[in-house]
Each structure stands twice: as C-alpha cells, then as structure tokens.
Amino acid sequence: MSFGGFIGGGSSGGGGGDAGLMMADNLYSTIPTSALAHTQPHMVSPPPMVQPIFNSLPLSLAVKPKMEGAGDMGLIGENFGPGDADKSKEEEYESRSGSDNIEGASGDDQDTQGDKASSSGRKKYHRHTPFQIQELEASFKENPHPDEKARLELGRRLNLESKQVKFWFQNRRTQMKTQMERHENNMLKQENDKLRIENIAMKEAMRNPVCSNCGGAAALGEISIEEHHLRIENARLRDELSRICGLANKFLGRPLSSLASPIAPGNSDLELAVGRNAFAALSSVGTPVPMGLDFTSAVTNPLPILPTIRSSMGMTSFDVSIDKSMYLELAVAAMDELLKLAQIDNPLWFRSLDGFSEALNLEEYNRVFPPCVGTKPSNFITEATKATGTVIINSTSLVEILMDPNRWTELFSCMIGRASTIDVVTDGTGGTRNGALQLMHAEFQVLSPLVPVREVKFLRFCKQHAEGFWAVVDVSVDSIRGGPSAQIFSDCRRLPSGCIVQDMPNGYAKVIWVEHMEYDDSNVHQSYRPLLRSGLGFGAQKWVATLERQCECLAVITSSTVPGGDHGVISPSGRRSIAKLAQRMTHNFCAGVCATVYKWEVVQVGNADEAKLVMRKSMGNPGEPPGVVLSATSTVWMPVSEQRLFDFLRNEQTRSQWDVLSHDGAMQQMFHIAKGQDLGNSISLLRSSATSPNSNQNGMLILQETSTDVSGSLIVYAAVDIPAMNVVMSGGDSSCVVLLPSGFSIVPDCYPDSAGPNSSSGNFGKEATAGGGSNGCLLTVGFQILVNSLPASKLTLESIDTVNALIGRTLQGSISALLD
C-alpha cells in the first residue's frame, strides 16, 4: 500500500517490512480488526507500564493513548484465538511513538549485548528531550526517508547518534502505517455493521408485512404495484450510485468510501495528512502531466467529493440518471483528451506559417485518440488548431468568467451571439468551480452575412488539477443519445476543446487553447472558406487573441491611473461608464450583423452581390428608440491590406469621404480613451466641424470604438445625444443613452495571392493562412436604422432603397479614396 511517496515502506530504514491489512472480500462477513504481525529484530518491547507518547497532533491521527483504567474496552465483542493476545500486544508496541529508543542498540549491537539483556531482565531506554522530539517531528514532515548524510547532520545538531536517528524515523514510519491501517479497518467495520443492520431490518420487514391502508398484517402478494416499482427503482438507483462513485474516483480523485459511508467531520484531516489525493484520478485514465504540473501541491489541496446532481425538468428519473452518468463519462474522456492535446507537440501538431498557431495532424490524431463523440459525418470537414498566449488575469477569475454564460458572452461578444446554461449536472465544490459540469447552448459567429451562425449544444467541464492550474473543456452532446433530439444541431459539432490556464508569478496567466470542430462548409461562401480553415474565424488563435485584447482592456479601464496620450480630463468612473456604453454598442452591432440575440425577420436574404436585410420591432428595450429597426449588412473583397483599410476608416480626418453623418466636413476628436498599448484599441468621441460648437441643445456626437488584433479589426460607431453623454462622462448610468450602432468588420482574406476570391477557388493549401502573402481583405459593413418610430408600422420599399443606397455610397466612397 503506497500513498504517493508520503508514507514509505520498509525498504529504507533498517529492513522493517510493511504490515499487510487483511480484509474480507464479502462486506457482509466480519472484518478483522488486527493487522498481520511483523517482526522488528532490532527493537525490544518497552515495559508494559510505559504509555505511548504522541507529540505530533497532525500525524497522530486516530490513535490515542488509552485512558487509565479503560482496559481493553475496544476489544469487547471480538472473538480472539490463541494467538490474538500476543498480536494485540504487538499492535500496542507498533503504535508507540518513535520518541522512545533503545540507547545505542541496533543490529549487531543488540547481539553483543544479548547476555547483558538476559542478566538485567530489560534494557535501558533513552528518552529524547522535548526539543529533540520537536526537531525530529519537523524533519519527518519534510522528509520521512532521510539519507545517511541527512541523518548525520540531524544527529550532530541534536546530539544524537546516527543509529538513534535512523531507528526513530523507522519507528515513526511504522507507527504511521499502523495507524492508517487501523483507521481503514474501523471504517470498513462501520460500513459492515451498517449493512448488517439494514439487512436485518429488511428481513424483519419482509417477515411481517403491513398493509398501508388498514395497518394490519398483509401477505407479500398484496403489496401494491407502485411499491413494487419503487423497490425496483431503489435497487437501480443503488447501482447507479455505485457507478457515479466510480466516476468520482476518476475526475475528482476521492476514494469510493468517502461517498458511500458516513465519515465524521473530525476524520477529514486523515486523508490530508497521509496524502490521499488526486493521484489515482489522473493515472486511472492515463492522463499525462502537462506544463510541469507538480503533484506535491495536490497533497495540501485534495480535490473535493462529487457534487450533488440536479435533476432536469420534464424528464423521468430513469432518463435523468442515464443522461447524467453518460455526461460524466463523456466529460472525463474529454478532459483527458484536452490535457493530452495541450501537452503533445510533434507529430500531433504542425506549426502554421504565421508562427502563432498550430494545426492538428488528423492522421496522427485518429491513430492516437478513439472517437469521443462518434464517427464524423461524410459531409463534415475538420477544423482543429492550438494557440498559446499570456493574459492579464489570474486563473480563478478567468474560470469564473468561462463558467458564467453571460460574462463569457460579454468577453467574446464578437464571437458569441448568445449563450445559456441548459442544466447544471454537477455544482462546484468548496465555493469554487472545481468539478463543475453544466450543459450549455451557444451560437458562435463570424461577423459576416456570408458565414452562417454555428449552434452547438455541449458540456462544459471545469477541473482544478493543482493550485493555480485549471482546465475547462467543451464537448458536444448531440449524439450522446439516439432519437430526434440528437439531430437538433446537425451543421457542426464541438470535439474536446477548451483551455488550460496556469498562474504565473507576475500576476499573469499562461493560456493554452485548443479548438477542435467538425462542420458542414457547404453553406459557407467560398470567400470565407480559407479564413475558416486557417483558424482565424473560429480557431484557437482567434480565441487567444480576443482574450488577450479584452483582458488588457479590462485592466486599463479599471485602472485608477489615466494612460498617457488620453485627450480630455475624464474621471476614472467616467471612463468606466463610457467603456460600458461602448461595450453595449459593440454587442448590439454584432447582433445586427449576424441576426442573433433579438428576434429578427428576414426582409432580403442577401448574397455576395446584395446586402442582407433583417428587421425587428423595438418596444421598450432600454437604450433603444421605439419603432421598426432595419439592419443591413454586406461583405465585399477589398484589394488593400487589412491594416491600411483599418487606418483609413478610423481616421477622423478622412471620415467625410465615406460617412454621411460627417456633413462633408472633417471630424474633431473631443476625447480619446486608450484600451491598451496598441493605438488601434481605443474609445473616442467625435464631433463634426460643420456643426457649430454652440448648438449643443439639438447637436449630435459620434461615439466610436475601435479594436484590432492578429485575427482582424472592428470599428463600431453610433450617433449619441450631447446631454446624455455629459451624464455618462461624469460617471452616470450609461443605459440612458439611446443608440443604434453601425460599423465595419475587417478580416484578412487568407488567399494565396492578391488577385481576389476568384483566384483561390478550390485551392486552400498551406499558403492560405494568416499572412500567407495576400494583400487583400474582407470588409463587412453594417447599418442599423430606425425606419419608423411606430412599432406596428410596416416596412416600405422606400426604406429598403434608402438603406441599399447608404451601403453603396459608403463602399464606393471607401474604395475610391483608397484606390486614388
């Protein structure tokens, strides 16, 4: 029996062997309470009147010295054989503290002193001083198996011989081992007694059945059908509980007995002291240790027991239990695969040409990993990438965001249309997210009408592997059960994907992100297929780049210091209020482009040649004007680089060449709030120079937010009212500002050359990656316009023509200015 190296065997320390614990295979048989005796040739039993001394409370565990006059009350009720009395004495001797040593006696010394022992009757014992015992105990906690050099150093410091130190450590290890065996024996005996009592009670109830209606005697044949079904259900639930307990051993690392037997709170320190932790959990599923994970930290942070399982509404108890157990098994397998994917490099991953991400070697993956969610459909293609980054956030805070669907959507508002938690399978334990498993639904998006939204129903499982080391994994559940419900989301599925987060000493966190999806690309326009296959659309590089940018923005906005270069004097509360308003503006813009969040009605389907038009009725939505809102989006290929187009569109000096709100005049910047070190990440308030500065009563301003990273750029703006913005700038509530956003989304085209989309038809090789040599980009423009202030009014053809003309003028003005 080994406890992760914390408790050693008898190989070191003088030749003492481990005691074996004899347990009955059948729980209904009597469990012996004594361990097999083992001899210690170099140790002599102390006099009977000497009581054991316990100097280390955390390590003494459940063994305590007998009270005077108590006798052998603990042995009452047991049947002893002829040799049991001697065994009890040996156990009492083994439980003694290592503080009592034979002075100078060990090995050959005992043989040479044998004659003196026979003549004197008993040997002279050396009692260590309290200081020596304290130092020995402290050394034992650090290293229970010291080498010869350590023993010599410790003996020199405590004025003890090396043999005395050696014998003390050997006795202390023997004592720890005996105590642990005795405690486990007691636990099994308690469980045995409990089962025996239950068995007797059930037999007694079956002998004397009672009618539930009249209270009189009843025959077994008169038991109601409902009661019969309840008994069958009870037996099935017992089997299910055993299965769940086995799963708990896998992904939470606690022993089975901690779930099945009542353990007093006072015994919780036992597992902490002997190192019963999550070692078996990872080894049981063959999980490698990623990123230099130190298992010694898990000794002081044992993983908690399996949390309570919640039931789902509208399902029978049988369906619920089957689904829950299958969810748990799938989550464990997905976590195991994620850890392996994060650790293994070649030949499982190929580094892309951009150097920021890696692509999965599908042939090697299929050889190493069994199918986790079933066989891939024939019409699906695989998209699998891995990326690494460093973010300004600690692991615990990031995990809390990922497990909260609302905060997760806010953090990745450009990538997630909406998300929700369908069911909580298991709760986190100890007030943390460790062991949390929940069933979720999400809509993943690329900001273009040419890419359909991906709807996924998946499990999200969070686990803490060590202090400051977390993993969060997602896996689809569409095919976990048969039937019509398995085909709800059939366009894509999410294979084990997620992130591993490890805290760094400087307050940052290292993130390894793995994104693995299979989807049907027949509905994706050919202009966006190279982008999606490069991983910049839904891949790991996109997730990591967005996470780094958003965490940096959060750190800057919440800081009390004003970054250099910010124009205007705005208080920290005002900056936070403006940032919150800009966040709402960007979220609404993304919802309009992808037709998510709200209930949209399609007016014009749209394609590569015409805009997509959708409309909705706004009635009482905070921060929006009432009436009919029309959203128009269109995507075009631009023969200029992404960076050049981004700089042109965000420049207030050239804005009049494409923006009708500028009144054909240059725009003036009233203030500028930086969101990070990149100048392209900022929030600014603009005013048209054609508007008189004194006309503040009915004047309008333009709030603009710009964001950029390696995966693309975003420009969102909206006209805002001056009095409302004055409230926000002073730190007031930003929900009072009414706005309808418009803007641009820019992504690299990932084409092999700059000839445009037509040159890459059917050719999506390795060169079709980010930075693959193309000088073009894909521009998506989106407008949200209030076409009528009455929600019940109908959309007219004149409104449609006006919106189409607005999009055409904006695109034509941008192209003309850039190509001149």
Q: Are residues 546 and 589 in the same domain?
A: no
Count CA within 13 A, CB hemisphere, residue 712: 30
When pLDDT is cut at 50, 70 and 90, the band that residue 384 belongs to is very high
The candidate with the shortest Cα–Cα distance to 573, out of 581, 224, 565, 278, is 581
* Single-letter amino acid, residue 762: G
Q: pLDDT at residue 783 above 90?
A: yes
% of the chain at pLDDT higher than 70: 65
When pLDDT is cut at 50, 70 and 90, the band that residue 544 belongs to is very high
Neighbours of 637 (CB within 10 A): 15
When pLDDT is cut at 50, 70 and 90, the band that residue 545 belongs to is very high
Q: pLDDT at residue 133 above 80?
A: yes
Phi-psi label, residue 2: left if phi above 0, alpha if psi -120 to 50, beta otherwise: beta
CATH number at residue 164: 1.10.10.60
Residue at which a domain ends, from 530, 557, 584: 557
Query: Residues 458, 477: contact at Cβ < 8 Å?
Result: yes
Q: Is 439 helix (H, G, I), strand (E, B) or coil?
A: strand
State the average pLDDT over residues 778-799.
Answer: 88
Q: Are residues 519 and 653 in the same domain?
A: no
Query: Residues 31, 182: contact at Cβ < 8 Å?
Result: no
| Residue at 630 is within a domain | yes
State the average pLDDT over residues 132-137.
Answer: 89
Q: Is 126 helix (H, G, I), strand (E, B) or coil?
A: strand
Please give the pLDDT value at position 662.
74
Please give the pLDDT value at position 799.
84
Distance from C-alpha of 404 to C-alpha of 419, rounded to nearest angstrom: 9
When pLDDT is cut at 50, 70 and 90, the band that residue 52 belongs to is very low
| Residue at 742 is within a domain | yes
Q: Are residues 663 and 547 in the same domain?
A: no
Q: What are phi and psi of 634, to 5 degrees?
A: -150, 145
Tokens of 814: 């941008």
Q: pLDDT at residue 546 above 90?
A: yes
Query: Residues 550, 414: contact at Cβ < 8 Å?
Result: no
Q: Are residues 401 and 521 in the same domain?
A: yes
Please give the pLDDT value at position 239.
77
Most confident of 37-46, 281-290, 605-614, 640-649: 640-649
Q: Is 149 helix (H, G, I), strand (E, B) or coil?
A: helix
State the average pLDDT over residues 606-614.
Answer: 79
How high is the mean pLDDT of the chain? Answer: 74
Q: What are phi and psi of 756, to 5 degrees?
A: 105, -175
Please give the pLDDT value at position 217.
62
Lowest mean pLDDT among 289-298, 742-751, 808-817: 289-298
Please give the pLDDT value at position 89.
42
Q: pLDDT at residue 316 above 50?
A: no
Lowest mean pLDDT among 461-470, 545-554, 605-614, 797-806: 605-614
Return all residues near 742 (Cβ < 8 A) that are at least 6 apart: 589, 716, 717, 718, 781, 782, 783, 784
Residue at which a domain ends, from 557, 587, 604: 557
Q: Are residues 538 and 684 in the same domain?
A: no
Please give the pLDDT value at position 66.
38
Q: Are residues 579 and 674 in the same domain?
A: yes
State the average pLDDT over residues 502-519.
Answer: 94
| Residue at 786 is within a domain | yes
When pLDDT is cut at 50, 70 and 90, the band that residue 562 belongs to is low
Neighbours of 27 (CB within 10 A): 13
Q: Is 516 helix (H, G, I), strand (E, B) or coil?
A: strand
State the average pLDDT over residues 394-407.
Answer: 95
| Residue at 377 is within a domain | yes
Q: pLDDT at residue 95 above 60?
A: no
Please give the pLDDT value at position 539.
92
Q: pLDDT at residue 125 above 80?
A: no
Distance from C-alpha of 758 to C-alpha of 608, rounded to nearest angstrom: 13
Query: Residues 604, 449: contact at Cβ < 8 Å?
Result: no
Please give the pLDDT value at position 250.
63
| Residue at 531 is within a domain | yes
State the average pLDDT over residues 260-264.
Answer: 37
Q: What total number of domains does the chain contain?
A: 3
Q: Are residues 537 and 579 in the same domain?
A: no
Residues 185-227 pLDDT 10s: 999 998 888 888 888 888 777 777 666 556 566 655 555 667 7
CATH number at residue 616: 3.30.530.20
State the average pLDDT over residues 772-779.
Answer: 73
Bigger pLDDT: 348 vs 249 = 348
State the average pLDDT over residues 318-344.
Answer: 82
Q: Are residues 436 and 331 in the same domain?
A: yes
Q: pLDDT at residue 494 above 70?
A: yes
| Residue at 442 is within a domain | yes
Please give the pLDDT value at position 417.
92
Return all residues near 643 (Cβ < 8 A) that are at least 6 apart: 713
Please give the pLDDT value at position 353.
67
| Residue at 524 is within a domain | yes
Q: Are residues 584 and 713 in the same domain?
A: yes
Most confident of 98-107, 539-548, 649-658, 804-813: 539-548
Q: What are phi and psi of 85, to 5 degrees?
A: -65, -40
State the average pLDDT over residues 548-553.
Answer: 94
Q: pLDDT at residue 498 above 60?
A: yes
Lowest mean pLDDT among 19-33, 116-130, 136-150, 540-554: 19-33
Q: pLDDT at residue 756 above 50?
A: yes
Please give the pLDDT value at position 114.
44
- Domain hosting 398: range is 324-478+492-557
When pLDDT is cut at 50, 70 and 90, the band that residue 617 belongs to is confident
Q: Are residues 734 and 796 in the same domain?
A: yes
When pLDDT is cut at 50, 70 and 90, the band that residue 751 belongs to is confident
Residues 417-452 pLDDT 10s: 999 999 999 888 888 899 999 999 999 999 999 999
Q: pLDDT at residue 78 above 70?
A: no
Q: pLDDT at residue 803 above 50?
A: yes
* Single-letter amino acid, residue 188: L
Per DSSP, 769 falls in state S
Q: Are residues 710 and 616 in the same domain?
A: yes
Phi-psi label, residue 774: left if phi above 0, alpha if psi -120 to 50, beta otherwise: beta
Q: pLDDT at residue 30 above 50?
A: no
Q: pLDDT at residue 303 above 80?
A: no
Residue at which a domain ends, from 178, 205, 238: 178
| Residue at 29 is within a domain | no
% of the chain at pLDDT higher than 90: 31
Please give the pLDDT value at position 495.
94
Please give the pLDDT value at position 813.
86
Query: Residues 636, 744: contact at Cβ < 8 Å?
Result: no
Q: Are residues 512 and 381 in the same domain?
A: yes
Query: Residues 740, 575: contact at Cβ < 8 Å?
Result: no
Please give the pLDDT value at position 588.
92
Per DSSP bridges, beta strands 357-360 and 381-391 are: antiparallel
